[in-house]
Structure 1
Amino acid sequence: MFDGIARRVVSIWFHRLASDRFLRQYPLSGPFALTIKHSNANRLYCLNTEAAQQGLHQGMSHSDARAFCPKLQTAPADLYRDQQFLLTLRRWATRYCPWVGLEGRDGLVLDISGSSHLFGGEDNMLSDIRTGLTRAGLSAQIGLADTRGAAWALAHFGEGQAAPGAMLPALKDLPVAALRLDVKTTTALIRLGLRKIGDLATTPRAPLTRRFGPNVVMRLDQALGQQVEEITPLAAPPHYGVRMTLPEPIGLIDDVMAGTKRLLTQLCATLKTHEMGARVFVVTLRRVDQGHQEVELRLARPLRDPLRILPLFEKGLSEIDAGFGIDQLRLEATQTEALPAQQMTHVATDSDDRLDDLITRLGTRIGLENIQRFLPADSHIPERSFITSPAAYSTAASGWVCRNPRPLCLFHPEPIAGGGSYPPTHFRWRRMSLTTGRATGPERITPEWWFDDDNWRSGLRDYWRVETTQGRRLWLFYTPQNPGWYVQGEFA
C-alpha cells in the first residue's frame, strides 16, 4: 500500500449463491433447494430462505428432506454456471475498486484502500453494495476490516466491520472456525477449551505450533494483521475486438472488404499472441445516420488466418445497406477457443481446411447445425451403430470398425411374401418377384436387453446378405421365435 493510506478490505459472502442464481432465472415460491450427487446419493447443496426455515440444511439427503418438507422443490446444481456467475459479480464489484479477487467458490474480496472516499466513506460504500445486491435478488453477508482474514471472519460469523487498528476486539468473541481452519483442527481446538479467537490469542504459541503445526498461528496472525496476506485480483480477460473510424464515408463492397481485411489482420495477430482461434466473428458497420448493421460469421473450426477468413465474409457484407455511407467498422471475435501452435511437417495437407471452409460457406446459408455427419456408436444393433452430429462441432472418425459389412441404406423392417426355405429361394418384396442367386450368412444378432425397444421384441435375428438374379443386393433377417422373413437394408 501507499504510505499514509490504511489498508481496508471488504469480504462478501454469497451464502446462497447457487440457489439465488437459479431463482433469478426461474422464479419459484416456497421451499427450494439445489441438489448434487455425493456418495451415490442426492444431497442438498444450496437452499433458499424458506427451505432453511423448514429445518433443512446443506448435506442433508434428498429423501430425508422430502420427508421433512413434502412441498420442497428441487433442481440439480450446475457448478460451472455458478462459477461463471461469480465471475460476473467480480466484474460488477470492480466499480468499487480495481483490486477484486475470488474468495473460494462463493465469495469476493475487495481491497478498498484509498477508494472509499469516492462513495462518501466506508459506510456509504457498504450501503451501496448491499443495495445493489438486494436489487439483484442476491443474499450476501459483508465484512470490513484491516485484513483479509478478519474481513472473512466478520462476513461469515459476525457480518460487521472492525475499526481501523482494532482487529482483536472485533474478533475475540468469534469462534475459532472464523480463522478459516479445517474441521478437524477446529474440533481439536474446541476439545481443548479454545472455543473463541480471544482464547486462542492468549494461548502460548509454542504448544499450539507443536500440536497443530504452523497453520493455526499463521491464520491467527493473518487475521490480526501481524502477517501480510495479499489479495490477487483476476487479470482482465483479453479483449478480441478492433475498431476503425473512417475520415470519409464508404459504401462500395470493395472498400468495406478492404477495411475488414485490415481489421482481420490486427485481430488475428492478437489471437495468435494468446494462441486462440475464433469460432464466431461479428462485423458492425456504423452509418453516417447513426444506424448500424451487423454481419455474423460462424466458422466450422476455430481460425485465426485472415487470408482464409476474409473470403467467407464476402456474402454477408455484400448484402448490407450502406445508406449514405459507412464511417466506422468494428470487428469482434465473440466466441473463441484454444488453438495452440502445431508443428508443421512435410506431409501436411490442406484437405481438411478446404472441407472446413466448405462447411462454413454452406452453414452461412442453411445453418451450421443443419450440416450433419455420421459417427460410429458402440452398439451391435444396426439401428444404433451410428449417431448423427453437426459437422462443425465434431471430428470425423478415423475408421469404422465392422467385422461384417452393413448396407448403406437401412430402413424399417419390411416383411416378404414366400420364403419357406432357409434362406428363401423365391420371394416377393415391394411388388417385385425376386430369386436368390447367392446368399451369405447367417449372422446372429441378439437384442440389447438393457434397452426397451419395440422393434426388437421378437427376439434374436439371423441376418443374410442376399444377391438376387434381378440385381438387388438385400439384407434379410429371419426371426426364429416368431418365424418370418424381413428386409431391412439394401447394399449399393
Structure 2
Amino acid sequence: MWFPRLASNRVLRGCPSEAPFALIHKEANAERLYCLNDAAHSLGLYRGMNLADARALCPDLRSRPARPDLDARFLDVLRRWAMRYCPWVGREGADGLVLDVTGSAHLWGGEAAMLEDMRAVMARTGVALRLGVGATRGAAWARAHYGEDADLAQLPVAALRIGAETVTALQRLGLRSIGAVQGAARAPLARRFGPELLLRLDQAMGAVPEPITPEAEPPQYATRMTLPEPIGLVADVMGVTQRLLEPLCAKLRAQHMGARRLLLTLRRVDQASQQVDLRLAAPMRDTARILPLFQRGIDTIEAGFGIDMIRLEAVLVEPLAVQQIGHVDHGNDRLNDLITRIGTRIGLENIQRFQPADSHIPEHSFLIVPAAHSPSASGWHAPRPRPITLFPPEPIMAKGAEPPARFRWRRMSFSTGRAVGPERIAPEWWFENPAWASGLRDYWKVDTREGRRLWLFYTPQSPGWYVHGEFA
C-alpha cells in the first residue's frame, strides 16, 4: 500500500478543498513544497519546489505548515486498519505499508476482491491509494509505485528502491529497466555501485528474503474484573478498585511509567455504564496514593440494581524514573495529591502557579502556568526583592531624582521614612513593549511612615515619578 498524498490527504480530510493546496516545510533556509493535492500537481507543481516559485505559477495556492509527526500518527492508524486483511503489517517508509497476505486472501474471495475492498474503503475516506502485489516485498513496492499490472522486468531501474544517483548512472550506461540490470554482468556492477544494487535486485527477484516485521503494539495499561454478584456499596467498589490498582501499578512500575489519567468504568446489571475520570497532577504508580483520590468520584456513582463489572485503564501515561525510597522529602507528593483533590472539583487546568521567567522587566519576570503540568520553582530566588502586588504605573507629583519626602497617591498623603535604591532597569530593546517605550527606570523601595511599603520608579529621560507596586 502506497499513499502518495498521505500528508495532504490527512489535512484535507478535515477541511476539504478543491483549490490547489500544498504543505510546506523549511529546508536549507528556504520554504519548499512537502506534499501536494491533485489540483496543485496538475498545475505543474512538484514536491521539493521552492514556495516562491510555486506561488509565481499558482497565485491561488493554499498552504499550511507540514507536520511529519502527525503524518506518522496517521500512518499508524492506517496500519492498524490494514490488520483487518492480515496480521502481518509493517511500515514501508514514511508513506507506505507492506502486508504479507499469504493465507489471508481467500477470506476475501481472492486477491482481486481484497484489493477492490481496499480501494473502496480508501476512496470513501478521501485517501489516495496505490496498490502493488508481488511474490516479494520489492516486487510489490515496484508495482505500487510504477505500475500495478506491469511486468517486473519492464519497470524502470528506480523501481529497485535505489538512490537517485545510482539510477542516473545506470541510465547513462544504457541500463534503463530491471530486466537490463538483471541481464548485465554482476561483477562489474558490484565493483562500480557496491553491494546495495545487487542486494535490491536479488530482493525484488526473490533470491534474498526480505521479511516483514510488524509494528509492536503499545502496551495496554488496563485491568478488569467481572463480579459473580452485583455490588452497590461504596466500600465494595473501593475494594474492587484497590484490587484492580495493584496489578496496574505493578505493570507501570515494571516499565518505569506513571499514570497521569485513570478511567474507571463501572457497568451495571442493566448494561448502563458510568465512569470516574481521575486526572493526576503528576505521574503516579503508588496504589496507596491513588486509591483515596477515587473516593469523591465513586461517591457520586448511581449503582442502580448493582454493578457487575469494573474496568480500570490508564489512558495517559508518562515515563517515571525510579526514585530513592529512603531519606526523601515527600513534600512534592503531598502537594501533587492536594492539587489532584482540588482538581477533581474545579478542574486541573484552573489550578495555576507562578513560574520565574528569564527577564529583568518586572511585568515579564514571571509566568502563570497550570500547576499540574509544570514543576515547582523551588530553590529560585530573585536577585532583588520584588513587591507582592504589581499594577500599572500610577503617576505622583514629585520633582528631582531622589525619592520625595512627601507625596500623594490614591488621594492619600504619605511621608517617606526610608528609601532603598536606586535599581536601574533598562528596557528590552529586542521586544516591542509600549509600556517601556519611555526608556530607563530607576526603582526605589520606599517605606512610608504611614506603614505602606511602595515600589516607586523615576524616569530620568522624561522626569517623572510613578508607583508600580506594593510590598507586603
C-alpha displacement of 1:436: 1.3
Q: 1:273 to 1:67 in 2, by over 3 A?
A: same
Corresponding position of 2:268: 287
RMSD value over aligned CA atoms? Answer: 1.4
Corresponding position of 2:279: 298
1:427-477 CA distance string (max 9 Å, x none): 111111111122122222121122221211212211111121222221111
Q: 1:345 to 1:289 in 2, by over 3 A?
A: closer
C-alpha displacement of 1:102: 0.5
Query: Which runs of 5 or more residues in structure 1 are unaligned?
Result: 1-11, 162-169
For the residues of structure 2 that align with 1:71 and 1:435, how far apart are their CA atoms? 68
Corresponding position of 1:182: 163
C-alpha displacement of 1:345: 5.7
- 1:154 equivalenced with 2:135 (yes/no): no
Match of 2:349 among 369, 387, 397: 369
For the residues of structure 2 that align with 1:286 and 1:89, how far apart are their CA atoms? 31
- 1:271 equivalenced with 2:259 (yes/no): no
Corresponding position of 1:206: 187
Q: 202-211 vs 397-406, which deviates more?
A: 397-406
Return the TM-score normalized by structure 2: 0.97
C-alpha displacement of 1:116: 0.5
Corresponding position of 1:441: 421
Match of 2:329 among 349, 356, 360: 349
- 1:105 equivalenced with 2:94 (yes/no): yes
1:323-472 to structure 2, matched below 5 A, reads 323-342=304-323, 344=324, 346-420=326-400, 422-472=402-452
For the residues of structure 1 that align with 2:415 and 2:165, how far apart are their CA atoms? 81
Corresponding position of 1:3: none
1:120-174 CA distance string (max 9 Å, x none): 111111111111111111001110001111111111111337xxxxxxxx22221
C-alpha displacement of 1:341: 2.5
Match of 2:45 among 48, 56, 66: 56
For the residues of structure 1 that align with 2:440 and 2:17, how far apart are their CA atoms? 49
Q: 283-292 vs 395-404, which deviates more?
A: 395-404
For the residues of structure 1 that align with 2:439 and 2:149, how far apart are their CA atoms? 71
For the residues of structure 1 that align with 2:165 and 2:401, how far apart are their CA atoms? 77
1:70-109 to structure 2, matched below 5 A, reads 70-109=59-98
- 1:139 equivalenced with 2:119 (yes/no): no
Alpha-carbon contact 1:419-1:426 (below 8 Å) kept: no
Match of 2:462 among 471, 475, 482: 482
Alpha-carbon contact 1:17-1:106 (below 8 Å) kept: yes
Q: Percent identity of the aligned residues?
A: 61
1:225-273 CA distance string (max 9 Å, x none): 0001111001122111111111111111011111111111122222223
Corresponding position of 2:292: 311
For the residues of structure 2 that align with 1:245 and 1:181, how far apart are their CA atoms? 55
For the residues of structure 2 that align with 1:373 and 1:183, how far apart are their CA atoms? 54
For the residues of structure 1 that align with 2:311 and 2:173, how far apart are their CA atoms? 66
For the residues of structure 2 that align with 1:406 and 1:300, how far apart are their CA atoms? 29
1:223-234 to structure 2, matched below 5 A, reads 223-234=204-215
Return the TM-score normalized by structure 1: 0.93
Alpha-carbon contact 2:407-2:414 (below 8 Å) kept: yes
Which amino acid is 2:463 matched to? P
Alpha-carbon contact 1:279-1:335 (below 8 Å) kept: yes
Match of 1:254 among 215, 230, 235: 235
C-alpha displacement of 1:421: 5.7
For the residues of structure 1 that align with 2:321 and 2:185, how far apart are their CA atoms? 54
Alpha-carbon contact 2:82-2:89 (below 8 Å) kept: yes
- 1:18 equivalenced with 2:7 (yes/no): yes
1:157-196 CA distance string (max 9 Å, x none): 11337xxxxxxxx222211111111122222222222221
Q: 420-429 vs 384-393, which deviates more?
A: 420-429
**Divergent runs of 4+, >3 A:** 418-421
Q: Alignment partner of 2:126: what SS? A: coil
1:202-241 CA distance string (max 9 Å, x none): 1101011111111100000000000011110011221111
Q: 1:346 to 1:249 in 2, by over 3 A?
A: closer
Q: Alignment partner of 1:476: what SS? A: strand
For the residues of structure 1 that align with 2:182 and 2:381, how far apart are their CA atoms? 69
Which amino acid is 1:92 matched to? W
Alpha-carbon contact 1:418-1:428 (below 8 Å) kept: no
Q: Alignment partner of 2:140: what SS? A: helix
Which amino acid is 2:199 matched to? M
Alpha-carbon contact 1:281-1:334 (below 8 Å) kept: yes
For the residues of structure 2 that align with 1:265 and 1:347, how far apart are their CA atoms? 25
Alpha-carbon contact 1:419-1:425 (below 8 Å) kept: no
Corresponding position of 2:173: 192
For the residues of structure 1 that align with 2:382 and 2:294, how far apart are their CA atoms? 41
C-alpha displacement of 1:420: 4.7
For the residues of structure 1 that align with 2:325 and 2:347, how far apart are their CA atoms? 34
For the residues of structure 2 that align with 1:27 and 1:435, how far apart are their CA atoms? 69
Alpha-carbon contact 1:142-1:160 (below 8 Å) kept: no
For the residues of structure 2 that align with 1:73 and 1:465, how far apart are their CA atoms? 55
Q: Alignment partner of 1:46: what SS? A: strand
Query: Which runs of 5 or more residues in structure 2 are unaligned?
Result: none
How many positions carry a matched residue from both structures? 472
Alpha-carbon contact 2:397-2:407 (below 8 Å) kept: yes
